[in-house]
Amino acid sequence: MHDTGTVSQSAPTPGSPAPAPTQGPASAQKGQPPSPEREGGSRHARRFGLPVATALVMGNIIGGGIFLLPASVAPYGTVSLVAFGVLTIGAIALALVFGRLAQRDPRTGGPYVYVREAFGDFAGFLAAWSYWITSWVSNAALAVTAVGYLDVLLPLHDSPWLMMTAALVVQWLPALANLAGTRYVGVVQLVSTVLKFVPLLLVAIGGLFFFDPDNLGPFQATEGSALGAVSASAAILLFSYLGVESAAVSAGEVRNPRRNVGRATVLGTLGAALVYLLGTLAVFGTVAHDKLLTSSAPFTDAVNAMFGGTWGGAAVACAALVSIVGALNGWTLLSAQTAYAAARDGLFPARFAVKRRGVSTFGVIVTVVLASLLTVYNYMAGTARVFEILVLVTTFTATVPYLLATAAQLYFLLSGQSDRVRPARLARDAVLALAAFGFSMWLLAGSGYAAVYQGVLFLFAGVLVYAWMSARRARA
């Protein structure tokens, strides 16, 4: 039986004061890397191997958005494939940086752990708070998206009550898998990743045999420079790679994390990039450009063009549902793991630091309840305006931990901590960190003025929570 995770200190029990945390920079100067976390074993808790960790990364990167991406970037022409290539390079650089950081500190928490160690409690809290907001708001968005695909298979007749019920069921099923333990989380993630990639690869690879260059349309379909077209299409594609940090966030649940987290991060990112590029290219080559511009289901149109008939809609809807359930399963775990890591250090309420079956059950419940409340509000209010604003905010909050984590890597490299960074890798790691930092800045810029403005408000609303937790620790 494998241990479920590692903690540098024992988790506080509910109601007991959290232990006082050590400051990040001070702990980094002790010369000893953090020891792996240890937790009581359970037959329901099992550490993830490389395949499951890779599936977690791929499953979280690829949600339901891939099924609309080709139509979203079609107005810019095939130049959008160049944008895909540029973004893939940036995402790989970010993946490699997370792999390096996980080698140095393989604890559960990912960006939060690295940022806190480098810059102290407050910066670490902002990273955890930002990532936590992202996860449960994104879960609500994924569930609402799933209802759109479910309507193809089980007509809901535009009934708000039926749609709301379906969205809640889609959220709670992955949450129940999380509550059952990491063993079942891994099984669901691996199975859903395999099931989603079968139809996606069918289109991506099968489309090459039906590829017609006449369907591609112009290389650049917009006015202005090619660089401007690349930047414009990249703004739409930027957030297709959110989730590269998934293995790092759950490092404490990964077997041999110093070795496997980096590999899973890079392999998962490469796998997702391959599906994105081949899938988009196949749709471009099988669906006429003028039709693709107005398509609401480009993969369905591609399947129908390849094999005839109208069964493509049901097939793609099934694939999308499996994809979204897998993403919900993974993001629910990451939300609980981030809160657990912060609670372990006294920066989130102590209840989040209690694990059962390898999972913070309180963290899972809070995540799914908040996402459910947001979903109910979306349907009861009769308008998606507030919901859309919140989803837009997550494009900012998801990127803040990336920016802080890459800055932490630069701090470790430049502060002369030879016990943390091998001298022979210094130049290469510095170049990777700078590239990842630039990529993160690009992500922030691509989210738009409104998202940055409102995202900052959400981010600093957490300062009150930090003040409350700091006061509790001071009294203790």
Task: Give, for all 476 residues of the chain, the pLDDT tens digit.
Answer: 333 333 333 333 333 333 434 334 333 343 444 444 444 445 545 566 788 788 878 877 887 677 777 887 888 888 888 888 888 888 888 888 888 888 888 887 888 889 999 899 999 999 999 989 888 888 888 888 788 778 777 776 667 788 888 888 888 988 888 887 777 677 777 777 777 777 777 778 877 888 888 778 777 777 777 777 787 777 777 777 888 888 887 777 778 878 888 888 889 888 888 888 888 888 888 888 888 887 767 877 788 878 776 676 677 778 888 888 888 888 888 888 888 888 888 888 888 888 887 778 898 899 999 989 888 887 877 655 566 677 777 878 888 899 999 999 888 888 865 455 556 677 788 888 898 898 888 878 777 787 788 888 888 888 998 898 888 888 87
For position 252, what pLDDT does the model report? 74
For position 16, what pLDDT does the model report? 37
CA quadruple 221, 222, 227, 232: dihedral positive or negative?
Answer: negative
For position 3, what pLDDT does the model report? 36
- Give the predicted TM-score (pTM) of the model: 0.77
Please give the Cα distance from 198 to 191 (Å, whole number): 11
Please give the Cα distance from 171 to 138 (Å, whole number): 11
Coil, helix or strand at residue 356: strand
Please give the Cα distance from 53 to 328 (Å, whole number): 15
Q: What does the chain come to in residues? A: 476
Q: 80 CB contacts (<8 Å, ≥6 apart)?
A: 73, 74, 229, 230, 233, 237, 280
Chain-centroid distance, C-alpha 83: 20
Indicate the DSSP class of residue 424.
G
For position 7, what pLDDT does the model report? 34
Coil, helix or strand at residue 6: coil
Q: What is the residue whose two structure tokens read 């359930």? A: 325
Please give the Cα distance from 154 to 152 (Å, whole number): 6
For position 31, what pLDDT does the model report? 40
**C-alpha angle 53-40-188 in degrees, rounded to nearest 5:** 30
Nearest 10 degrees: CA dihedral of 196, 202, 205, 211?
A: -130
Count CA atoms within 13 Å of residue 129 on its CB side.
22
